Structure 1
Amino acid sequence: MSGLFAEPGMDTNQPETPPHVRRLPEVIVNRIAAGEVIERPAAAVKELVENAIDAGARRLEVSLAGGGVDRIIVTDDGVGMSADDLALAVDRHCTSKLRDETLVHISTLGFRGEALPSIGAAARLCITSRPRGESGAWRIRVEGGKVSPVEPAAGAPGTSVVVEDLFFATPARRKFLKSARVEGRHAENVVRRLALAVPQTAFRFVLDERVLFDLPAQDMAARSAALLDASEADGFLEISGERDGMTLSGFICPPSVHRSTANGQFMLVNGRPVVDPVLKTAVRVAYRRVIEPGRHPVVALMLTVPPDRVDVNVHPAKTELRFADEASVRSLVIGTIQRALEHGAGSVGVRPVLSSAPRQARIWYPPEKGAAPPIPAPAFHAPAPEGVRFAEGRLQFGDAPAARTLPPVAMPSPGAGWDAPVVSAPPATGQAEPAYGASLQPAAADHPLGAAIAQVLDTYILAVAADGSLVLVDQHAAHERLTHERLRAQFLSGHVQAQRLLVPDVVDLPRVQVELLLARQPTLEKLGVEIEAFGGDSVLVRALPAMLRSSDAVSLLRDLADELEADENGAPDEMAALDGRLDAVIARMACHGSIRAGRRLSVEEMNALLRQMEETPRAGTCSHGRPTWLKLSKADLEKLFGRR
């Protein structure tokens, strides 16, 4: 039958000649290798900026045109290269950075010697470099893998690299690139992450003749805040932790500050920017109970690991790592972040800057119904009542200030609870109203949420902090978090109560998942899940948490097994399949057991709520991840009113 499809004149009986193994030309080898190292313009930018940092640059400028496809220019003031160094720099696997042939103690960002040859194989590359102390510079050109001789040139001390017409020699790769806008955004993200690694180096990034950022040399806190677009007003927190010879430092934002993507998460391992799944998963777990589903926290983490316990030679891009002990790394990140988030509202999101003299808070209410009509303002400058000071001698609105204030209330002690029933009784008939203009006690410095001064719409509490900032609290969301934490502590203080099934369920799973579940039997029992082996590929479920009365044992175990397989270092109490369902039930109980919107509170009750928020973990968000309070500083208010 094969002869029916043979071409005329073809001898179908002859055996097919086997292909011969041949050595590929060096140009083709370099172009194939370039596809691994330089997958898009951002990868080329990354390699060039890393070279500049390793050269000791203190000032670095990156300029892109056409998203980096048309042109990339990276200029630095580093040590520069001689003519001999330039000739070797564009040859594959030539580097000045690798001092340890065991690939263990790697202290530089680059070490493979592949970046410049890969770029030169796929684009038009021109390098001009002048060593410090030399009177002249040298230049070398590479186009599509063809190297030109080194020649003298004019140039400032340092190195300038120009890449033009990227992927002109590999058109198959070029046609799969995104738009110039998308490619430029990827390159910007890469430069931002590298800028975090060396805050002592000034960075300037220009995209299509627009300066996107120009950062001076600064400390890590200022650099992190600038790159994350966060500030102390957002509750920018410094964190630190240590475990098994590893240290973690950095800065995180409270759960109320989040993004739609993970672009706001910057991670350094031994000073190297990485995109590591272990670290990303740990951050997600640490924020899981306090952030809205589908949103991503904003963090800048710096992890230091002994060099012999991490492998950076995993991928040519050098953004992936292998940790010798992933479980310890995960525990360090989760524990450090959660400790910072559990200090209560007083530490997360409120960072008072106290003045030498605390301000006093006053609030003016409109006259109540049935109150006496306002007294017309006298034509002369009447003295203000004792204890009240106005900027003007009299008000210019035609009315005297007819208003009442909340009575002075002593700040509750830090241990004041919120367990008393919420009852707000109106003032007794005939009770004297306080003199208008009476001032509340100043908010104490150790009470960052301040003193309550009013309740708006019987739903929102207004308070004034010690620095004069205005604090707004959603009373239902805040009390929901307090109730949630109390209920969760009760349920998890010991073993979660289990409800035995009348008929045990048999769940068939892959053998790997069965082994993962059985290895965590003790932890599962504490959470109210009792299982046992039932054959090689099955698990017998005898009990589930009593709180999950209507749960399907089969779907629960399968979801939990899938999550444990995807994250082998995770614990069952960190998995959404089980802990998430328990937490959802607790959240519903907390929601129904909390004070409702529209409930009028007394000033004592409002202050008691504020004090307990300051001491309750994760009080910055409710059980659903929404913020429980907002803070408006003087600068925020001036911005709202167009003063700045």
Structure 2
Amino acid sequence: MAKVVVLEKDVADKIAAGEVVDRPASIVKELVENSLDAGATRVEVELEEGGRRRITVTDNGCGMMLEDAVLALERHATSKIRAADDLYAIRTLGFRGEALPSIAAVSTLRILTCAEGEETGIAVTVERGEVSAAEQRGAPRGTQVTVTELFANVPARLKFLKAVPTELSHIVDLVIRFALSYPDVAFRLSHNGRAVFASQGSGDPLNTVVAAYGREVAREMLPVDSGEGAPVRVQGYISRPAVTRTSRSYQSFFVNRRLVRTPILTRALDEAYKGYVPAGRFPIACLFVTVDPAVVDVNVHPTKMEVRFAAERDVFQAALRAARQALAGANLAMPALPPRVEQSIQVQTAGERPAVAPPPAPSAGSGAPVGEALEDPFAGLVVREPVADLAPKGK
């Protein structure tokens, strides 16, 4: 009898899902990346019980036709690449065509979407990886994906989920970092019906820093820019040496707007701050690396959180030079902040930041509406700082 067998589809799907979906935060990451790739200017994330009971991501992106929505549920079906050569110049956040089928394999998935120019939308329901319903339905332009019954068919994985506050903290941290990378997109995150975080989407990176870290911290941030013309450009903000934290969880790194973990930028910051901060203290940082997509490999890890550079030394030197220049001019005038609004809010904190006022509300005409859920996306705004590292395994 043969010892080697071909696994059944549902078994293979669950194995593949384990590489992509390990907790609610990983689902939020995949869905928000799809929204951003769809050109959304507003993204709303709604959670119940830390995402364990329900995750809903709504956007005002390009939406999908019926055939695309159904095909997107097939593994390795994607609109973002066409050939193997495309892998060497990736300009989108997603590209493998694994997110939706992986999520659908371990949950009940509902998609409500309407493509631009269409009079009606479509609703698709997927249970345990199989499409159970697909029908036309009225919907605003964009896409809404709802995930329920997460890991109901994989009880072993369900047991490894942490308490609601822990799972929520990973999602809060993730959404904040998306907002930092996309200051031109308005984000809203709510939990059990209560607003947790919102960004204005004004396009001003410093405005997003205020929403993410608070006004008092934002006053102590130094602009960083390695300059134009070089193959690698590093921009962003780093904190003055007097403003540090006890972990690196307040350091956010992005490569071509993709949230990543990279020891290259970590080492560059450590080197730049030598002599400025004591051992065991780490600056707050938000750094953006812009390079030709052809010289960075983002297809090295299932989560797409790790990247490889063709010229790592160039990236290191650009980041080090930019950070040192910013620190050398630390006695310059503090950056101008957005004006205060008259009414302050109660800030939920889990760390070291003092209470602050939120950034001003967006103008009535800014951005396209997502639907009723986003008619007043910043009402009851609560600013919250990141409280956890980037969803490390086993935490």
Q: TM-score, normalised by structure 2?
A: 0.80
The answer to whether 1:259 aligns with 2:254 is: no
**2:179 counterpart residue number:** 195
Trace 1:195-594 onto structure 2 (pairs within 5 A): 195-218=179-202, 219-230=204-215, 234-242=219-227, 244-343=230-329, 346-347=331-332, 350-351=333-334
SS of 2:233's partner is strand
The answer to whether 1:69 aligns with 2:52 is: yes
**2:118 counterpart residue number:** 134
Whether the aligned pair in 1 keeps the contact of 2:178 and 2:259 (CA below 8 Å) is yes
Distance (whole Å) between structure 2 residues aligned to residue 248 and residue 59 of structure 1: 26
Distance (whole Å) between structure 1 residues aligned to residue 315 and residue 49 of structure 2: 40
Distance (whole Å) between structure 1 residues aligned to residue 31 and residue 335 of structure 2: 42
1:281 CA displacement: 2.2
Trace 1:625-640 onto structure 2 (pairs within 5 A): none
Whether the aligned pair in 2 keeps the contact of 1:138 and 1:154 (CA below 8 Å) is yes
**Which letter does structure 1 place at the counterpart of 2:115?**
P
Query: Which structure's CA Rg is the greater one?
Result: 1
Distance (whole Å) between structure 2 residues aligned to residue 234 and residue 196 of structure 1: 16
SS of 1:148's partner is strand
**Which letter does structure 2 place at the counterpart of 1:35?**
G
Q: 1:142 to 1:91 in 2, by over 3 A?
A: same
CA deviations over 1:60-111 (Å, ceiling 9, x no partner): 1001111111100000111111110111011100011114531112111111
Whether the aligned pair in 2 keeps the contact of 1:122 and 1:144 (CA below 8 Å) is yes
**Which letter does structure 2 place at the counterpart of 1:343?**
G
Q: 1:241 to 1:38 in 2, by over 3 A?
A: same
Distance (whole Å) between structure 1 residues aligned to residue 178 and residue 329 of structure 2: 31
Distance (whole Å) between structure 1 residues aligned to residue 212 and residue 261 of structure 2: 17
1:53 CA displacement: 0.7
The answer to whether 1:179 aligns with 2:156 is: no
**Which letter does structure 2 place at the counterpart of 1:141?**
T
What stretches of structure 2 of length at least 5 have no aligned partner? 337-395
Distance (whole Å) between structure 1 residues aligned to residue 324 and residue 170 of structure 2: 30
**Which letter does structure 1 place at the counterpart of 2:241?**
P
Distance (whole Å) between structure 2 residues aligned to residue 169 and residue 337 of structure 1: 48
Identical aligned residues as a percent: 41
Distance (whole Å) between structure 2 residues aligned to residue 143 and residue 229 of structure 1: 41
1:224 CA displacement: 2.7
Distance (whole Å) between structure 1 residues aligned to residue 263 and residue 247 of structure 2: 15
**Greater RCO, 1 or 2 (C-alpha within 8 Å, sep 6+):** 2
Q: 1:233 to 1:147 in 2, by over 3 A?
A: closer
1:150 CA displacement: 2.0
**1:87 counterpart residue number:** 70
SS of 1:205's partner is strand
Distance (whole Å) between structure 1 residues aligned to residue 215 and residue 318 of structure 2: 24
**2:362 counterpart residue number:** none
| Match among 24, 41, 48 for residue 41 of structure 1 | 24
Aligned length: 333
Distance (whole Å) between structure 1 residues aligned to residue 35 and residue 109 of structure 2: 16
Whether the aligned pair in 2 keeps the contact of 1:244 and 1:328 (CA below 8 Å) is no
1:261 CA displacement: 2.2
Regions of 4+ moved over 4 Å: 230-233
1:300 CA displacement: 0.9
Whether the aligned pair in 2 keeps the contact of 1:232 and 1:351 (CA below 8 Å) is no
Q: TM-score, normalised by structure 1?
A: 0.50
**Which letter does structure 2 place at the counterpart of 1:283?**
L
CA deviations over 1:387-441 (Å, ceiling 9, x no partner): xxxxxxxxxxxxxxxxxxxxxxxxxxxxxxxxxxxxxxxxxxxxxxxxxxxxxxx
1:208 CA displacement: 2.1
CA deviations over 1:527-585 (Å, ceiling 9, x no partner): xxxxxxxxxxxxxxxxxxxxxxxxxxxxxxxxxxxxxxxxxxxxxxxxxxxxxxxxxxx
Q: 1:154 to 1:168 in 2, by over 3 A?
A: same
1:338 CA displacement: 1.4
Whether the aligned pair in 2 keeps the contact of 1:234 and 1:257 (CA below 8 Å) is no
Distance (whole Å) between structure 2 residues aligned to residue 277 and residue 184 of structure 1: 26
SS of 1:238's partner is strand
Distance (whole Å) between structure 2 residues aligned to residue 179 and residue 96 of structure 1: 36
1:114 CA displacement: 0.3
1:129 CA displacement: 0.4
| Match among 98, 104, 119 for residue 114 of structure 1 | 98
Distance (whole Å) between structure 1 residues aligned to residue 335 and residue 73 of structure 2: 54
Distance (whole Å) between structure 2 residues aligned to residue 290 and residue 230 of structure 1: 23
**2:392 counterpart residue number:** none
1:188 CA displacement: 1.1
Whether the aligned pair in 2 keeps the contact of 1:122 and 1:145 (CA below 8 Å) is yes
What stretches of structure 1 of length at least 5 have no aligned partner? 1-17, 354-644
Q: 1:230 to 1:273 in 2, by over 3 A?
A: farther
Whether the aligned pair in 2 keeps the contact of 1:100 and 1:106 (CA below 8 Å) is no
1:54 CA displacement: 0.8
Whether the aligned pair in 1 keeps the contact of 2:91 and 2:293 (CA below 8 Å) is no
Distance (whole Å) between structure 2 residues aligned to residue 263 and residue 352 of structure 1: 23
Two-structure CA RMSD over aligned residues (Å)? 1.8
1:306 CA displacement: 1.6
Distance (whole Å) between structure 2 residues aligned to residue 177 and residue 142 of structure 1: 23
